[in-house]
């Protein structure tokens, strides 16, 4: 029994130490620009080991040198309540959970009737805010477990407590993926439009925002009908997007 209590105490101490480490890292981001994220480092290793080379595009630019059109497009596409919520959009999270549950139930019924191969696998809907996406990219792996999701929520609340909305969006836009080896608004603007992030037009910004859920997929289909249609929808919503 004593050994079990000692083990539990060690686990608790390790957990607390990890959270303190995260607090210090996030607090430092108020004044220091993060050089890389956990996701970027894992992607760099994957590309390097599979291709033997590391084509990489990334350049930090301050908030003022990122087009307001891109900020509005990303908010309109990814998180239209960004400036109002506390880091987690609980209503969107609940809707995503319900949609995923229904999709899993439908897949189970198809499997029970022997029709599982007649339809694609259910699409998993995340419902994540910009702050949640940043928390995951900065510190966590891509695995989908309840433990990782719980840590993501803790990190999200820490980001919101220690940084303001403007800083969170600035870090997000400088590190979000826009294609294989393409990270940040400046790299994306140069890669797809041969211009700086400050010079992006509303339509160009909307097209970049379309790519965010699946950047490696959409970089191969830049002129697809879906990209054009979705960009038009985002463009129409950008006027209502509130900036921090």
Q: Residue 7: what are its φ and ψ, rounded to 5°?
A: -65, -45
- pLDDT tens figures, 3-31: 777 888 888 888 888 889 999 999 999 99
Distance, in Å, from the CA atom of 158 to the CA atom of 26, rounded to the nearest integer, reads 8
> Does residue 127 carry a pLDDT above 50?
yes
Residues 6+ apart with CB under 8 A from 115: none
Please tell me the least confidently modeled range out of 16-25, 94-103, 154-163, 196-205: 94-103
DSSP string computed for 86-115:
SS--HHHHHHHHHHHHHHHHHHHHHHHTT-
- pLDDT tens figures, 159-173: 999 999 999 999 999
Domains defined for the chain, CATH in brackets: 36-82+163-244 (1.10.3810.10)
C-alpha to C-alpha distances, 142 to 6, 15, 155, 163, nearest whole angstrom: 31, 20, 15, 24
Distance, in Å, from the CA atom of 7 to the CA atom of 48, rounded to the nearest integer, reads 39
Q: Residue 13: what are its φ and ψ, rounded to 5°?
A: -65, -40
């Amino acid at each position: 029994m004593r050994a079990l209590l000692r083990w539990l105490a060690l686990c608790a101490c390790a957990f607390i130490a990890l959270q303190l480490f995260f607090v210090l890292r996030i607090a430092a981001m108020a004044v220091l620009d993060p050089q890389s994220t956990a996701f970027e480092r894992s992607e760099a290793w994957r590309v390097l080991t599979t291709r033997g080379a590391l084509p990489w595009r990334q350049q930090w630019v301050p908030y003022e040198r990122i087009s307001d059109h891109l900020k509005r497009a990303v908010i309109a596409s990814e998180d239209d309540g960004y400036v109002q919520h506390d880091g987690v959009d609980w209503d969107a999270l609940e809707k995503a959970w319900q949609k995923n549950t229904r999709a899993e139930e439908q897949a189970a019924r198809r499997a029970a009737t022997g029709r599982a191969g007649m339809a694609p696998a259910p699409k998993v809907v995340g419902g994540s805010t910009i702050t949640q996406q940043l928390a995951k990219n900065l510190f966590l792996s891509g695995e989908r477990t309840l433990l990782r999701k719980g840590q993501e929520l803790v990190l999200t609340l820490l980001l919101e407590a220690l940084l303001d909305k403007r800083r969170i969006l600035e870090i997000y836009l400088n590190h979000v993926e826009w294609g294989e080896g393409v990270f940040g608004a400046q790299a994306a603007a140069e890669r797809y439009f041969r211009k700086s992030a400050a010079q992006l037009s509303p339509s160009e910004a909307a097209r970049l925002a379309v790519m965010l859920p699946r950047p490696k997929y959409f970089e191969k289909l830049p002129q697809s009908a879906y990209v054009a249609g979705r960009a038009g929808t985002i463009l129409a919503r950008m006027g209502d997007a509130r900036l921090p």
